A and B are shown apart, each in its own frame.
Chain A
């Protein structure tokens, strides 16, 4: 890949803290103008990786390139990146406008122009007229916006966001997610978001790198991650996925022949097959919404099987059923939309379950 297509490039990046191997050979590129997320459980190295871009963390080997330039030996204050910190790091002894204008201190423009830039930045994040307020008197959401304005006013090539929404309540968080997406489209700057919240990553990102134990497990767009996770671990981390044991019985052209208890024999397209070539210990995975409970009068599915309802969780717009498909040992989860006129089934009820081989993923 030429450097034109890469705003950030990681080349086999390793990082050790003493004996602890925090980053284990990270390779990958982040494209210009992209909303990119580093997603993973705590301790997977996602924040460390972000901090190697900012220059707060050195690397033990490999290279980090920003806009085609190797960042080795370039200190944080000389890098074309700016960061929004998890704690927001608003300078408590300065006013809102002093905070936002902090990075312009060495800017040669006259003071009036700089003041105008600060006003524009504040307007962009929805804090017009807040300039004179004391920073320590702001709410969490307002601090967040000040931190954004302070970073974006310098027009960085890359904006780094370290779990910026984790301290907000749910409603505020969802609102800020939408605002961040809009803001990113408006300014066109590459955003890199670190988050442990898979839903947040799916909602906001153009592409996501899922990280486990210092390695990138999968790097793909949200839909690919959701529909075709490349391992059980990724599938488990992103949303809910049901797993049932299966056996590979043969391969015919682009199709892998599979036999799974409760589903019988069927073929899975090669594009839906993840992992190596072994036929031992295969698993089929499917999302709760890809199975359907067939109520009387609903459209017939291409395949059907019988199941017993073991648990019912009512969510208002949705109902989650834990059902045990005949011939299987473990219950699987099915989510059904509560459209008008559709009954909610009781525990113990028998149900017809419709499924489609096209919605399954086979892990080998």
Chain B
């Protein structure tokens, strides 16, 4: 990079992007109730306070149930859609896939509100289950994108070869296709889990009285003295997210290499 102006711009941009996240652990270990410089000294008491909060554990339990269910359902739906889109031709295929991918670009607020209206009209009580419904809608496009890439790098004659060697379509799927797309499945599970874990709007609109992590954190900001404990929680969540995404990307890349394909994009 020869232009110094571009270099300065790039650095400034990255600082702007990541400085707030770096501040998170800084204040999480700062021995003061006020989020301000100068730092007052090192403490781990905010983590202890956070750890002792029963409401937080309740939210974590809900979030774990939701995110796990969402990861499984979205990946399962994504599996069907990716298989259909890479292997078969059928009428209105483009339109069907377009509609599946649409929630990626729709304003989430609008989707959440319309879902709320429909659910209330149908008399469905708001609960963890309704949050799962909303999150599956949001996560399925990601699952489809990841799994389509996994299926596309799969040579179709592998399937024919297995049939030719005496396997049924079902055992072929089990013995050949599943092992080869497994890295994509793991990657999809982890990414859907991560997205669902920190999603706020759907959880806020469709959750009724059930707290999840994101709505819990939002609620805690009303009490200034609780903010440092939130910083501690945030620090843990950031680390967890980065770890999960890194694992997901590792599996996605390994999957493509295993099937002998070329890397064509991805999230990291």
Q: Show the binding face of A for B, using Cβ within 8 Å.
A: 54-56, 75-77, 81-83, 85-87, 89, 91-93, 102-103, 105-106, 136, 150-151, 154
Which of B92-100, B164-172, B213-221, B230-238 has 4 or more CB atoms under 8 Å from chain A?
Answer: B164-172
Q: Does B176 touch A at the CB level, under 8 Å?
A: yes
Q: Are A93 and B258 in contact, with the CB atoms below 8 A?
A: yes
Residues of A near B157 (CB, < 8 A) are 85-87, 89
Q: Are A102 and B162 in contact, with the CB atoms below 8 A?
A: yes
Known: A93-B179, A106-B166. A136 touches B160 (CB 8 A): no
Q: Are B161 and A85 in contact, with the CB atoms below 8 A?
A: yes
Q: Are A83 and B164 in contact, with the CB atoms below 8 A?
A: yes
Within 8 A of A (CB), among B36-84: none
Q: Are A93 and B166 in contact, with the CB atoms below 8 A?
A: no
Interchain CA distance A83-B158 in the complex, whole Å: 11
Q: Show the binding face of B for A, using Cβ within 8 Å.
A: 155, 157-158, 160-168, 176, 179-180, 258-260
Interchain CA distance A81-B166 in the complex, whole Å: 10
Interchain CA distance A55-B129 in the complex, whole Å: 46
Residues of B near A150 (CB, < 8 A) are 161, 165
Q: Are A136 and B168 in contact, with the CB atoms below 8 A?
A: no
The 10 A-B pairs with the shortest beta carbon distances in the complex, nearest first, are A103-B165, A89-B161, A89-B157, A85-B157, A76-B163, A77-B163, A83-B164, A77-B166, A89-B158, A93-B179
Interface centre among A55, A77, A105, A150 (most CB of B within 10 A): A77
Residues of A near B155 (CB, < 8 A) are 87, 89
Q: Are B166 and A154 in contact, with the CB atoms below 8 A?
A: yes
25 A-B pairs with C-beta separation under 8 A: A55-B163, A56-B163, A76-B163, A77-B163, A77-B166, A77-B167, A81-B164, A82-B164, A83-B164, A85-B157, A85-B160, A87-B155, A91-B158, A93-B180, A93-B258, A102-B162, A102-B165, A103-B166, A105-B167, A136-B258, A150-B161, A150-B165, A151-B164, A151-B165, A154-B165
Residues of B near A81 (CB, < 8 A) are 164
Residues of A near B180 (CB, < 8 A) are 92-93
Q: Are A92 and B258 in contact, with the CB atoms below 8 A?
A: yes
Counting residue pairs across A and B whose Cβ atoms lie within 8 Å, the total is 59
Residues of A near B179 (CB, < 8 A) are 93
Interchain CA distance A56-B169 in the complex, whole Å: 12
Residues of B near A105 (CB, < 8 A) are 166-167
Q: Are B164 and A54 in contact, with the CB atoms below 8 A?
A: yes
Closest CB in chain A relative to B20 CB, distance in Å: 43
Residues of B near A85 (CB, < 8 A) are 157, 160-161
Known: A77-B167, A106-B166. A136 touches B161 (CB 8 A): no
Residues of B near A56 (CB, < 8 A) are 160, 163-164
Interchain CA distance A54-B157 in the complex, whole Å: 12
Interface of B is mostly: helix
Interchain CA distance A106-B258 in the complex, whole Å: 26
Residues of B near A75 (CB, < 8 A) are 163
Q: Are B260 and A136 in contact, with the CB atoms below 8 A?
A: yes
Residues of B near A106 (CB, < 8 A) are 166
Q: Are B259 and A91 in contact, with the CB atoms below 8 A?
A: no
Residues of A near B164 (CB, < 8 A) are 54, 56, 76-77, 81-83, 151
Interchain CA distance A154-B180 in the complex, whole Å: 24
Q: Are B166 and A91 in contact, with the CB atoms below 8 A?
A: no
Closest CB in chain B relative to A231 CB, distance in Å: 34
Interchain CA distance A92-B167 in the complex, whole Å: 17
Instruction: With CB as the reference atom, state the residue of chain B lying closest to A85.
Output: B157
New A-B pairs, 15, CB < 8 Å, besides A75-B163, A87-B155, A92-B180: A55-B163, A56-B160, A76-B160, A83-B164, A86-B157, A87-B157, A89-B155, A89-B158, A89-B160, A91-B161, A91-B162, A92-B259, A105-B166, A136-B260, A150-B165
Residues of A near B165 (CB, < 8 A) are 77, 82, 102-103, 150-151, 154
Interchain CA distance A214-B74 in the complex, whole Å: 45
Residues of A near B168 (CB, < 8 A) are 77
Residues of B near A83 (CB, < 8 A) are 160-161, 164
Closest CB in chain A relative to B98 CB, distance in Å: 24
Instruction: With CB as the reference atom, state the residue of chain A lying closest to B261.
Output: A92
Interchain CA distance A175-B166 in the complex, whole Å: 30
Interchain CA distance A214-B258 in the complex, whole Å: 38
Residues of B near A154 (CB, < 8 A) are 165-166
Interchain CA distance A359-B222 in the complex, whole Å: 102
Residues of B near A87 (CB, < 8 A) are 155, 157
Instruction: With CB as the reference atom, state the residue of chain A lying closest to B257.
Output: A136
Interchain CA distance A30-B155 in the complex, whole Å: 30
Interchain CA distance A154-B160 in the complex, whole Å: 16
Residues of B near A103 (CB, < 8 A) are 165-166
Interchain CA distance A91-B155 in the complex, whole Å: 10
Residues of A near B162 (CB, < 8 A) are 91, 102
Residues of A near B161 (CB, < 8 A) are 83, 85, 89, 91, 150
Interchain CA distance A75-B164 in the complex, whole Å: 9
Closest CB in chain B relative to A73 CB, distance in Å: 15
Residues of B near A86 (CB, < 8 A) are 157
Residues of B near A77 (CB, < 8 A) are 163-168
Interchain CA distance A150-B176 in the complex, whole Å: 15
Residues of B near A93 (CB, < 8 A) are 179-180, 258
Instruction: With CB as the reference atom, state the residue of chain A lying closest to B164.
Output: A83
Interchain CA distance A93-B174 in the complex, whole Å: 13
